[in-house]
Structure 1
C-alpha cells in the first residue's frame, strides 16, 4: 500500500485501531543499524561498546548564553529546512511581577543580541533553555507509530526510518516535548537524533562540540570517567522535563527552574 493510500485509509477510519497498531522493527529500520561495528572508538579516545552503554545528555541552563551556535551547527549538519528545528533555544524573561515571557525568534538561530522591547515592566532576570529530543525510555512516539517507522535502537536511541514513515504525524501529536516536524520536501518526520551517526563513530553530537560555554554535555552513564557520569553522580540538582508524563527522558537539565519544568 503506497503512502497516500495508507494515510487516506487511516483518516477515513478503515484501518481500525490504527493508533495502537505497531509493527515490529523490520529490515528497513535495520539498515540504519547495520553499519554499527562491535567496537567503535569512543568519546575522548576510549574504547566503547556502544550496545552496552547507557547514554545521557545534560543541559546546564546556568551556562547557556543563548548564542545559537548549537542551532547553527545542527542546521549545517543536517541541512534543516528553514522554519524547522531539530534543536532550538528559548529565552525566558522574568519580570518583577513574576510573570514569565518566553520567546524563540527563528529558534534562536541568530542568538539573542538584543533585549525585548515589548515588555513594559522592569526585568528581574533572563535565562536561556535549549530544547531537543529527550530520548525517552517510554517513548510515546514509538507507541503510536502505525508502521514502526519510529523505533528505539538496541542502544537506546529513538530514531526514525524515513523509508517507512508515511507522514501521518501521530508521533508529532504524541510527543510531549514538541521536538518533531514534517520535512516540507520529504513529507516524512524528522527530529533530533543526538547525532546518532556521529556517536556510533565515537564523536560528540555536533551541538555539544560547538558549545562555547560547555552548557551541553553528552556521554555514557556507565563510564565512570565520563563527564556525564560525574555530573549525574556528583552534587547539584538535575531534573527532567514533564516528569509527570512518565516518559523517563535521558535528557537532564541542570539549574532548571520551576518556570521551565
Structure 2
C-alpha cells in the first residue's frame, strides 16, 4: 500500500498552463473539459496582478485538480461505488462503467470545479484519439476527473502534468516513503493545503 500524491511549489509556478494542456493531451480529455486548471491569484482576469501598479502589485498562480484525499467526501457520497480509492496507490479513481451520472460526488466534493460531467457524447478537436493508448475511453453521462494519470503510474511512470512543467514546480511520489522527494519537501518547506477544515486530508501540498 502506498500513498501517492503531489507537492506543487507555488513560488516556482509561472502560470504557463503547460500542466493543464499536458493533462488534457495525455488523457484525451473531451472539448470543454479540463481536469487540471491554473488559477491566477491576483486581479480579476487571468495573468493580471492585483493592487496598484508600482505600489503593491501581487501575482501568483494556483494549479488545482482533484486532491486525491485520504478521506474523500466523494467516495462516501457515491451510491454505487463508482468513485473509489485504489488500494495499492491511494489514488481516488472513477469507474465509468459503474457511474450512473447522479453527480453526488460533484456535490459532495469541497473543491469546486475539479470534476466535469459529460452531458453529451464526448467530442474532441480532432477525429483521431490522442494521448496515452491505455487511457480510459470517455463516455456520455459520467463524471470525470484527474486520475493522476493512473495508466502511467501503473507502469511506474509519472503523471503527464509533471513531465512537461518547464519551471519544475511539480513533485510526485509516495508520502508513505520517508525517503521520497515529496515526503522530504513537506518536512523542509512551509506548505498549505486546500480547505483543510473540510477534513478530507488532501494529498496535494502547495509549498509557499
The structure-2 alpha-carbon separation of the partners of 1:102 and 1:228, relative to structure 1 and needing over 3 Å to count, comes to farther
Q: Partner of 1:89 in structure 2? A: 38
Q: What root-mean-square deviation, in Å, do the aligned CA atoms of Structure 1 and Structure 2 show?
A: 1.8
Q: Please say if 1:181 is aligned against 2:116.
A: yes
- Which structure 1 residue ranges, 5 or more long, are not aligned? 1-51, 94-100, 105-111, 256-261
Q: Partner of 2:194 in structure 1? A: 241
Query: Which of 148, 153, 170 pairs up with 1:194?
Result: 148
Q: By percentage of residues, which structure has more helix?
A: 1
Q: Please say if 1:143 is aligned against 2:105.
A: no
Q: Distance in 2 between matches of 1:165 and 1:253?
A: 31
Contact 2:51 2:57 in 1 (8 A): no
- Which structure 2 residue ranges, 5 or more long, are not aligned? 122-139
| 1:15-54 aligned within 5 A | 52-54=1-3
Contact 1:136 1:248 in 2 (8 A): yes
| 1:246-257 aligned within 5 A | 246-255=199-208
| TM-score, normalisation: structure 1 | 0.67
Question: Hey, which bits of structure 1, 4+ residues long, moved more than 4 A?
Answer: none
| 1:4-19 aligned within 5 A | none
Q: Please say if 1:208 is aligned against 2:162.
A: yes
Contact 2:27 2:149 in 1 (8 A): no
Contact 2:51 2:58 in 1 (8 A): no
Q: Partner of 1:67 in structure 2? A: 16
Q: Partner of 1:223 in structure 2? A: 177
Give 1:223 shift: 3.2
Structure label with greater radius of gyration:
1
Give 1:254 shift: 0.7
Q: Please say if 1:153 is aligned against 2:102.
A: no
Query: Which of 105, 110, 113 pairs up with 1:171?
Result: 105
Contact 1:90 1:103 in 2 (8 A): no
